[in-house]
Amino acid sequence: MERIPILRMGNLLLVTIQVDMHDRLALTLQDDLTTQIERTAAKGVLLDISALDVVDSFIGRIIANLSRMARILDARTVVVGMRPAVAITLVELGLSLQGVETALDVERGMRLLRRPPTPEPLRADHHD
């Protein structure tokens, strides 16, 4: 069965979505990622979606949920490399991914994860 690989780098997990994200694949990823975080006690997750060029509301929700689940398991999630078209679509769908950290590329995302988490008073309301 098709799976999205989850790579371990120190105490970080790197998830690169290179294929078209369909609904079942997204649900499998959700299972795999939570299992991996638990198993490796990872402190951070880098979700690289730079190859993703089509999103729908379901995938948008999955991305938000992944980040929320990771946080419950004590891992920070940074979504990196979102394309302009994807960002516009998500905004038009009303999904602003509140509370999800973002970075322009993997390198910057990595840097962000290595820094101690800064409390963000301006984006304090974590409800969608």
Partner 1 sequence: MTTPHTRLADIVKTARQPLLEGWLANLREALGDGRIANAELTHQATDLLNLITAALESGTDIQGDGWTATRQMLEEISRSRAVQGFSWTETAMFVFSLKKALFTEVRRALGSDAEALAEATWQSNVVVDALGMHTIQTFQRSREGIILRQQEELLELSTPVVTLWDGILALPMIGTLDSSRTQVVMESLLQRIVDSGSEVAIIDITGVPTVDTLVAQHLLKTVTAIRLMGADCIISGIRPQIAQTIVHLGIDLRGVTTKASLADALAVAFDRSGLTVVKRHAS
Amino acid at 87: A
Q: Answer yes or no: are the C-beta atoms of 75 and 34 closer than 8 Å.
A: no
Q: Which is nearer to partner 1, 2 or 92 (CB)?
A: 92
Residues that bind partner 1 (CB under 8 A): 79-84, 86-88, 90-92, 96-97, 102-105, 108-109, 122-123, 125
Q: Answer yes or no: are the C-beta atoms of 59 and 82 closer than 8 Å.
A: no
Least distance from partner 1 to the Cβ atom of residue 11, Å:
21
Least distance from partner 1 to the Cβ atom of residue 116, Å:
16
Q: Which is nearer to partner 1, 27 or 104 (CB)?
A: 104
- Sign, CA dihedral 75-6-113-30, equals negative
